[in-house]
Amino acid sequence: MKGLEELKLTCRTARPDGTVVEVGGVHIGGRDVVVMAGPCSVESEDQLLATARAVKQAGARILRGGAYKPRTSPYSFRGLHEEGLRLLAEARRVTGLPVVTEAMDTRHLEAVCACADMIQIGSRNMQNYTLLEEVGKLRLPVLLKRGLSATIEEFLMAAEYVASGGNEQIILCERGIRTFETATRNTLDLNAVPLLKRYTHFPVIVDPSHGTGIWWLVPHMARAAVAVGADGLLVEVHVNPQKALSDGDQSLRPEKFEQMMRDIRPFAQALGRSV
Ligand code: PEP
Ligand code: MN
Protein backbone atom coordinates (compact mmCIF):
# COMPACT_ATOMS: atom_id res chain seq x y z
CA MET A 1 0.00 0.00 0.00
CA LYS A 2 1.29 3.45 -0.92
CA GLY A 3 1.26 6.30 1.55
CA LEU A 4 2.16 4.21 4.58
CA GLU A 5 5.05 6.51 5.48
CA GLU A 6 2.49 9.32 6.01
CA LEU A 7 0.88 7.33 8.81
CA LYS A 8 3.23 8.61 11.47
CA LEU A 9 0.99 8.00 14.49
CA THR A 10 -1.45 5.50 13.04
CA CYS A 11 0.96 2.88 11.69
CA ARG A 12 1.36 -0.38 13.54
CA THR A 13 5.04 0.26 14.19
CA ALA A 14 4.15 3.36 16.26
CA ARG A 15 2.69 0.98 18.88
CA PRO A 16 3.44 -2.63 17.95
CA ASP A 17 1.51 -4.05 20.93
CA GLY A 18 -1.72 -2.39 19.86
CA THR A 19 -3.86 0.23 21.53
CA VAL A 20 -6.60 -0.56 24.00
CA VAL A 21 -9.27 2.15 24.06
CA GLU A 22 -11.26 2.64 27.25
CA VAL A 23 -14.86 3.74 26.92
CA GLY A 24 -16.59 4.36 30.25
CA GLY A 25 -14.69 1.50 31.90
CA VAL A 26 -15.03 -0.91 28.94
CA HIS A 27 -11.81 -1.85 27.14
CA ILE A 28 -11.77 -2.31 23.36
CA GLY A 29 -8.77 -3.85 21.65
CA GLY A 30 -7.93 -6.30 24.44
CA ARG A 31 -9.00 -9.88 24.96
CA ASP A 32 -12.75 -9.22 24.95
CA VAL A 33 -14.86 -8.84 21.84
CA VAL A 34 -17.00 -5.84 22.82
CA VAL A 35 -20.52 -5.60 21.45
CA MET A 36 -22.11 -2.15 21.14
CA ALA A 37 -25.82 -2.24 20.41
CA GLY A 38 -28.95 -0.13 20.39
CA PRO A 39 -31.32 1.61 18.04
CA CYS A 40 -30.25 3.42 14.89
CA SER A 41 -32.07 6.52 16.21
CA VAL A 42 -33.20 7.51 19.66
CA GLU A 43 -36.96 7.86 19.14
CA SER A 44 -38.53 8.06 22.59
CA GLU A 45 -37.81 7.33 26.24
CA ASP A 46 -39.76 4.06 26.12
CA GLN A 47 -38.10 2.85 22.93
CA LEU A 48 -34.59 3.69 24.14
CA LEU A 49 -34.93 2.31 27.66
CA ALA A 50 -36.59 -0.92 26.52
CA THR A 51 -33.87 -1.46 23.92
CA ALA A 52 -31.06 -0.52 26.30
CA ARG A 53 -32.28 -2.94 28.97
CA ALA A 54 -32.66 -5.74 26.41
CA VAL A 55 -29.20 -5.34 24.88
CA LYS A 56 -27.59 -5.15 28.31
CA GLN A 57 -29.39 -8.31 29.37
CA ALA A 58 -28.08 -10.06 26.24
CA GLY A 59 -24.48 -9.04 26.96
CA ALA A 60 -23.89 -5.79 25.09
CA ARG A 61 -21.32 -3.61 26.88
CA ILE A 62 -21.95 -0.23 25.23
CA LEU A 63 -25.21 1.45 24.16
CA ARG A 64 -25.45 3.03 20.70
CA GLY A 65 -28.13 5.44 19.52
CA GLY A 66 -28.25 8.40 17.15
CA ALA A 67 -29.54 11.80 18.20
CA TYR A 68 -28.25 13.56 15.07
CA LYS A 69 -29.01 11.43 12.03
CA PRO A 70 -27.45 11.86 8.59
CA ARG A 71 -30.38 10.98 6.29
CA THR A 72 -30.35 10.81 2.51
CA SER A 73 -33.64 12.73 2.30
CA PRO A 74 -34.07 15.93 4.29
CA TYR A 75 -37.70 14.92 4.84
CA SER A 76 -36.81 11.71 6.72
CA PHE A 77 -36.58 11.64 10.53
CA ARG A 78 -33.33 13.35 11.41
CA GLY A 79 -33.18 12.64 15.12
CA LEU A 80 -34.29 14.21 18.40
CA HIS A 81 -31.07 16.24 18.76
CA GLU A 82 -30.57 17.59 22.33
CA GLU A 83 -33.60 15.68 23.59
CA GLY A 84 -32.04 12.49 22.16
CA LEU A 85 -28.80 13.21 24.02
CA ARG A 86 -30.75 13.74 27.23
CA LEU A 87 -32.45 10.36 26.77
CA LEU A 88 -29.10 8.67 26.13
CA ALA A 89 -27.74 10.10 29.38
CA GLU A 90 -30.85 8.81 31.13
CA ALA A 91 -30.38 5.33 29.60
CA ARG A 92 -26.80 5.29 30.81
CA ARG A 93 -27.93 6.23 34.32
CA VAL A 94 -30.57 3.49 34.34
CA THR A 95 -28.49 0.67 32.78
CA GLY A 96 -24.92 1.65 33.58
CA LEU A 97 -23.97 1.16 29.92
CA PRO A 98 -21.55 3.72 28.43
CA VAL A 99 -22.95 5.54 25.41
CA VAL A 100 -21.72 6.15 21.85
CA THR A 101 -23.50 8.67 19.65
CA GLU A 102 -22.77 10.55 16.45
CA ALA A 103 -21.80 14.19 16.01
CA MET A 104 -22.41 15.25 12.41
CA ASP A 105 -20.96 18.71 12.73
CA THR A 106 -18.52 20.72 14.83
CA ARG A 107 -21.57 22.59 16.18
CA HIS A 108 -22.73 19.35 17.88
CA LEU A 109 -19.47 18.59 19.65
CA GLU A 110 -20.07 20.44 22.89
CA ALA A 111 -23.47 18.87 23.49
CA VAL A 112 -22.33 15.38 22.45
CA CYS A 113 -19.22 15.56 24.65
CA ALA A 114 -21.36 16.51 27.64
CA CYS A 115 -23.40 13.31 27.32
CA ALA A 116 -21.41 10.64 25.48
CA ASP A 117 -18.60 8.30 26.50
CA MET A 118 -17.49 8.01 22.87
CA ILE A 119 -18.16 10.19 19.87
CA GLN A 120 -19.12 8.59 16.56
CA ILE A 121 -17.93 10.10 13.30
CA GLY A 122 -20.20 8.67 10.62
CA SER A 123 -19.35 7.38 7.19
CA ARG A 124 -20.48 10.52 5.43
CA ASN A 125 -18.11 12.58 7.56
CA MET A 126 -15.01 10.40 7.40
CA GLN A 127 -13.37 12.99 5.17
CA ASN A 128 -14.79 16.06 6.90
CA TYR A 129 -11.35 17.31 7.81
CA THR A 130 -12.59 20.27 9.86
CA LEU A 131 -14.62 17.91 12.03
CA LEU A 132 -11.70 15.46 12.30
CA GLU A 133 -9.42 18.30 13.38
CA GLU A 134 -11.83 19.39 16.11
CA VAL A 135 -12.30 15.81 17.32
CA GLY A 136 -8.52 15.53 17.45
CA LYS A 137 -8.51 18.23 20.13
CA LEU A 138 -10.94 16.30 22.37
CA ARG A 139 -10.02 13.83 25.06
CA LEU A 140 -13.01 11.59 24.33
CA PRO A 141 -12.66 8.27 22.46
CA VAL A 142 -13.66 8.42 18.79
CA LEU A 143 -15.49 5.76 16.81
CA LEU A 144 -14.45 6.51 13.24
CA LYS A 145 -16.57 4.81 10.58
CA ARG A 146 -15.19 4.03 7.14
CA GLY A 147 -16.48 6.32 4.39
CA LEU A 148 -19.01 4.86 1.96
CA SER A 149 -16.44 4.82 -0.83
CA ALA A 150 -13.21 5.19 1.11
CA THR A 151 -10.14 3.09 0.46
CA ILE A 152 -8.24 1.59 3.38
CA GLU A 153 -5.55 4.20 2.86
CA GLU A 154 -8.06 7.08 2.98
CA PHE A 155 -9.60 5.54 6.11
CA LEU A 156 -6.22 5.38 7.84
CA MET A 157 -5.43 8.95 6.78
CA ALA A 158 -8.67 10.09 8.41
CA ALA A 159 -7.53 8.40 11.64
CA GLU A 160 -4.16 10.13 11.25
CA TYR A 161 -5.98 13.50 11.14
CA VAL A 162 -7.57 12.78 14.52
CA ALA A 163 -4.37 11.37 16.02
CA SER A 164 -2.24 14.26 14.76
CA GLY A 165 -4.54 16.64 16.64
CA GLY A 166 -3.55 14.84 19.85
CA ASN A 167 -6.41 12.37 20.33
CA GLU A 168 -5.18 8.78 19.97
CA GLN A 169 -8.24 7.12 21.49
CA ILE A 170 -9.56 5.90 18.13
CA ILE A 171 -11.60 2.84 17.18
CA LEU A 172 -11.97 2.08 13.47
CA CYS A 173 -15.27 0.68 12.19
CA GLU A 174 -15.77 -1.23 8.93
CA ARG A 175 -19.41 -0.63 7.95
CA GLY A 176 -19.57 -1.74 4.33
CA ILE A 177 -18.65 0.07 1.14
CA ARG A 178 -20.56 0.95 -1.99
CA THR A 179 -20.10 -1.49 -4.86
CA PHE A 180 -22.05 -2.54 -7.98
CA GLU A 181 -24.00 -5.02 -5.82
CA THR A 182 -27.59 -4.03 -5.10
CA ALA A 183 -28.81 -7.16 -3.28
CA THR A 184 -27.42 -5.71 -0.07
CA ARG A 185 -27.29 -2.10 1.13
CA ASN A 186 -23.49 -2.15 1.18
CA THR A 187 -20.78 -4.74 0.65
CA LEU A 188 -19.24 -5.59 4.01
CA ASP A 189 -15.50 -5.61 3.38
CA LEU A 190 -14.18 -8.10 5.91
CA ASN A 191 -10.75 -7.95 4.25
CA ALA A 192 -10.54 -4.62 6.01
CA VAL A 193 -10.32 -6.20 9.46
CA PRO A 194 -7.03 -8.12 9.11
CA LEU A 195 -5.68 -5.45 6.75
CA LEU A 196 -6.32 -2.61 9.20
CA LYS A 197 -5.01 -4.64 12.11
CA ARG A 198 -1.80 -5.24 10.20
CA TYR A 199 -1.30 -1.59 9.26
CA THR A 200 -2.47 0.13 12.42
CA HIS A 201 -2.46 -0.35 16.20
CA PHE A 202 -6.01 0.93 16.70
CA PRO A 203 -8.84 -1.47 17.56
CA VAL A 204 -11.08 -2.47 14.65
CA ILE A 205 -14.79 -3.21 14.94
CA VAL A 206 -17.44 -4.21 12.40
CA ASP A 207 -20.98 -2.89 11.83
CA PRO A 208 -22.86 -5.75 10.16
CA SER A 209 -26.13 -3.75 10.27
CA HIS A 210 -25.11 -1.02 7.82
CA GLY A 211 -22.77 -3.51 6.14
CA THR A 212 -25.73 -5.59 4.95
CA GLY A 213 -28.90 -3.56 5.39
CA ILE A 214 -30.81 -6.82 6.00
CA TRP A 215 -31.58 -7.97 9.55
CA TRP A 216 -31.27 -11.73 8.94
CA LEU A 217 -27.84 -11.31 7.37
CA VAL A 218 -26.57 -9.49 10.45
CA PRO A 219 -25.92 -12.57 12.67
CA HIS A 220 -24.12 -14.36 9.80
CA MET A 221 -21.76 -11.43 9.24
CA ALA A 222 -21.37 -10.85 12.98
CA ARG A 223 -19.99 -14.39 13.32
CA ALA A 224 -17.72 -13.84 10.30
CA ALA A 225 -16.48 -10.54 11.73
CA VAL A 226 -15.54 -12.16 15.02
CA ALA A 227 -13.86 -15.01 13.12
CA VAL A 228 -11.58 -12.59 11.20
CA GLY A 229 -10.49 -10.92 14.42
CA ALA A 230 -12.77 -7.92 14.94
CA ASP A 231 -12.33 -6.35 18.39
CA GLY A 232 -16.02 -5.58 18.60
CA LEU A 233 -19.34 -5.21 16.81
CA LEU A 234 -21.77 -2.33 16.36
CA VAL A 235 -25.29 -3.70 15.94
CA GLU A 236 -28.66 -2.01 15.49
CA VAL A 237 -31.44 -3.37 17.70
CA HIS A 238 -35.04 -2.15 17.90
CA VAL A 239 -37.93 -3.37 20.03
CA ASN A 240 -40.27 -2.97 17.06
CA PRO A 241 -38.29 -2.76 13.81
CA GLN A 242 -41.41 -2.32 11.67
CA LYS A 243 -42.14 0.93 13.46
CA ALA A 244 -38.54 2.17 13.48
CA LEU A 245 -38.04 5.75 12.26
CA SER A 246 -34.74 4.76 10.62
CA ASP A 247 -33.04 1.53 9.51
CA GLY A 248 -35.82 -0.85 10.63
CA ASP A 249 -34.96 -3.31 7.83
CA GLN A 250 -31.52 -3.95 9.29
CA SER A 251 -32.49 -3.86 12.98
CA LEU A 252 -32.62 -7.02 15.08
CA ARG A 253 -35.44 -7.67 17.51
CA PRO A 254 -34.08 -8.23 21.05
CA GLU A 255 -34.59 -12.02 20.88
CA LYS A 256 -32.66 -12.25 17.60
CA PHE A 257 -29.91 -10.13 19.13
CA GLU A 258 -29.76 -12.45 22.12
CA GLN A 259 -29.41 -15.40 19.76
CA MET A 260 -26.66 -13.58 17.84
CA MET A 261 -24.77 -13.02 21.12
CA ARG A 262 -24.94 -16.72 21.91
CA ASP A 263 -23.84 -17.67 18.39
CA ILE A 264 -20.74 -15.45 18.29
CA ARG A 265 -19.30 -16.91 21.52
CA PRO A 266 -17.73 -20.07 20.04
CA PHE A 267 -16.09 -17.97 17.31
CA ALA A 268 -14.55 -15.67 19.92
CA GLN A 269 -13.46 -18.66 22.00
CA ALA A 270 -11.79 -20.25 18.97
CA LEU A 271 -9.52 -17.20 18.88
CA GLY A 272 -8.88 -17.30 22.62
CA ARG A 273 -11.23 -14.37 23.24
CA SER A 274 -14.42 -13.88 25.16
CA VAL A 275 -17.58 -11.88 24.49
C1 PEP B 1 -25.33 4.79 12.08
O2 PEP B 1 -24.47 4.19 12.76
O3 PEP B 1 -26.55 4.81 12.38
C4 PEP B 1 -24.92 5.43 10.80
C5 PEP B 1 -25.58 6.46 10.29
O6 PEP B 1 -23.87 4.80 10.26
P7 PEP B 1 -22.98 5.15 8.95
O8 PEP B 1 -22.36 6.47 9.22
O9 PEP B 1 -22.03 4.00 8.90
O10 PEP B 1 -23.92 5.17 7.76
MN1 MN C 1 -28.49 3.34 11.17
Strand segments, DSSP code E, in 122-208 are 142-145, 170-174, 204-206
Ligand closest to 251 (CA) is: 2
Rounded to whole angstroms, the Cα distance separating 80 from 85 reads 8
CATH classification code of 4-264:
3.20.20.70
| Single-letter code of the amino acid located at 260 | M
- Helix axis angle, 152-164 relative to 129-136, nearest 10°? 40
Distance 122 CA to ligand 1 centre (A): 5
Q: Domain spans of the chain?
A: 4-264
pLDDT digits (tens, 9 = 90+) for 212-267: 999 999 999 999 999 999 999 999 999 999 999 999 999 999 999 999 999 999 99
What pairing do the DSSP bridges indicate for beta strands 21-23 and 26-28? antiparallel
Closest atom, ligand 1, to C-alpha of 123: 8
Instruction: Provide CB contacts within 8 A for 5, sequence distance 6+.
Output: none
Q: For ligand 1, what atom is nearest to the CA of residue 247? A: 3
Note the pLDDT tens digit of each residue in 153-178: 999 999 999 999 999 999 999 999 99
The answer to whether the beta carbons of residues 190 and 206 sit under 8 Å apart is yes
117, 28 Cβ separation under 8 angstroms: no
Give the tens place of pLDDT for each residue, 103-140: 999 999 999 999 999 999 999 999 999 999 999 999 99
Q: Which residues surround ligand 2, an ion (CB under 5 A)?
A: 40, 247
Q: Which atom of ligand 1 is nearest to the CA of 120?
A: 2
pTM: 0.98
Distance 70 CA to ligand 2 centre (A): 9
Cα 210 to ligand 1 centroid, rounded to whole Å: 7
The residue whose CA has the least distance to atom 3 of ligand 1 is 40
Beta bridge partners of 35: 233
What residues pair up with 121 in beta bridges, in sequence order?
Answer: 144
Give residue 210 CA to ligand 2 midpoint distance, Å. 6
